[in-house]
Structure 1
Amino acid sequence: MPANKKYLTHSVSQRFAKITAGFIGGYMVAVTFHMALAFWVDHVNVLMTLRYAGFLLWAVLFLLAFLARNGWKIWGIYLLATLLFSVLIYVGKMYNPIV
């Protein structure tokens, strides 16, 4: 049975944006989230948790990218989230320079 035509209407650029946003953007968000968390909580435990919870978070963000209507909008959201977590990393380094 062929695929329903309403699901095949996305352009090539939208497919590319969704795939790269899910794969690269989701990874960036997952890693920066755990790194920011490591500056505010015990960093050894957080980095060990990153092995499993990081993969789960990345997988969820990967799937969410395909649920969005616009791939470029999800790229923007993922870049803003990465920027926010990067700022938290910077602030965490200022207040806890030992880590």
Structure 2
Amino acid sequence: MPPNKKYLTHSPLQRFAKISAGFLGGYMITEAFFMAFAAWLDPGNALMTLRFAGGILWVGLMVTAFLARNGWKIWGLYLLIALFLTLVTCAGKMNNPLV
């Protein structure tokens, strides 16, 4: 059964923004999340959790990028989330330098 044309993205730039946000932005948030997790807790546990939950989180973020109407807005949201998680990682490294 073919998809309904009104729900498809017509602009090639929007399609590119959604695809790149799904793959690259989702991966960026996944890695930033687990780096923050490792900065505050045991890095060994974070690595084991990343092996299993990382793929699930990445796929979830990929699907979320394709559900959005505007690809550039989802890119902005993903960049803000990654920046926040990077700041959490830096704060964790300053508070727990031995971890």
The alignment's TM-score, normalised by the length of structure 1, stands at 0.93
The 5 A counterparts of 1:38-49 are 38-49=38-49
Is 31-40 or 11-20 further displaced after alignment?
Answer: 31-40
Q: Which runs of 4+ in 1 moved over 3 A?
A: none
1:67 aligned partner:
67
1:41: how far off?
1.6
Structure 2 unaligned spans of 5+: none
The alignment's TM-score, normalised by the length of structure 2, stands at 0.93
Tell me, in whole angstroms, the C-alpha distance in 2 between the residues paired with 1:77 and 1:20: 13
What is the identity percentage for the equivalent residue pairs of Structure 1 and Structure 2? 63
SS in 2 for 1:97: coil
Structure 1 unaligned spans of 5+: none
Q: 1:60 to 1:14 in 2, by over 3 A?
A: same
1:81 aligned partner:
81
- CA RMSD across the alignment: 1.2
